[in-house]
Structure 1
Amino acid sequence: MSRTVFLSGSAGTGKTTVLRLGHHEKLTTWGLTAAIDLDQLYFMVDPHWDLPYDDARTALVLRQSVSLAESFVEAGYENILIAGNAIHDAVDLNPVIPHFLRLGRVFHFSLDPSEEAVLRRTANDPHRSAPHLTNELHFMRTRLSPWSASIDNSALTPLETLEKIAHLAHTGAGEIHGPLVDS
């Protein structure tokens, strides 16, 4: 049975870095694993990030992730990692949850490293400002939902983060069985 894992967190928490782990690293850690970066799907409709986030565009991107996940499952992939900062909200996820549940088990994890870890990871990126990153991290913490398993990956490498995700999914942490309710 396949597993779909939603991986949420603010900018600089390590979502994309986990997705970019090599095929061999993913295979030996967790089995045949595909990665869907929602930012890449957003780029297809807004390559310069000119548009503000809106519900219709988020819905479009999430529907596309369903199609991609279906293709990966049909090709024999055991795990589908889907990462983005816009997937922490029940309102956005609920329309696609039934589709993913038809593919197999579904999980949600939120990466929540320390502020220091986020700033350290993004220190060499001139496109990321420390105040913006800090504000987004604190905002995302106010949005953590009880249906998401939180992972403090401050001291974890990307591979160790994937290992933690695989372990937690194996234990059933963060598993979604139906519609989500935000608190």
Structure 2
Amino acid sequence: MVALEQKALAIFKELQVKYQAELQRFMNTNRASRRGTIWSNPNRAVHIAKSARHSTKLDISSTAEFKKIKYIENTGRWLGNGMILLDGAFRANSVYNDYKNGDDWQRSLSTELASFGASTTVGIATGTFITTHLAASTLLMLTPFGWVVAIGLGLVAGFAMSIGTNILVKKTTENIYDRKPIHTGIL
């Protein structure tokens, strides 16, 4: 294990020397977390290899393929964040309309805030879980199309769970606000 780790570090150093300009250009356009990526931090790559997580082999033979995968990832992130912003805007508009019409806008605000927080949290957790577990599938992740499927299914599952959670939390919050007992129909 130690010999393999030393070999990986040596290969990383060689990669840094031979492709320094390309890696620097890539790292400038694709920011990573503070821990870095396998391209910027050899210890990160060694840690991933040692961990219990199963990493799927992704054969990337050109910069164009890597850019496609990065584009798909960024598009998925943009779509997810955009859906959250759009949901927040609709909820804010609903509360404002209640305020304008003289309805009980405090009730509306409390139910919208509670259901927004819960549905967003559940939607993100579900989408992340589904996408991560599909990423473990070697057959799915070998192509950029596999990434589209994984991210798409993650978004759909997160959206569906978010809607279900929204309905449940909104009804529960309305009942609490009105101080009504919650009847679920289950004995």
Q: Greater relative contact order (Cα 8 A, min sep 6): structure 1 or 2?
A: 1
Query: What TM-score do you get using the length of structure 1 for normalisation?
Result: 0.24
Query: What TM-score do you get using the length of structure 2 for normalisation?
Result: 0.23
Q: Which of the pair has more CA radius of gyration?
A: 2
Instruction: Report which of the two has the higher share of strand.
Output: 1
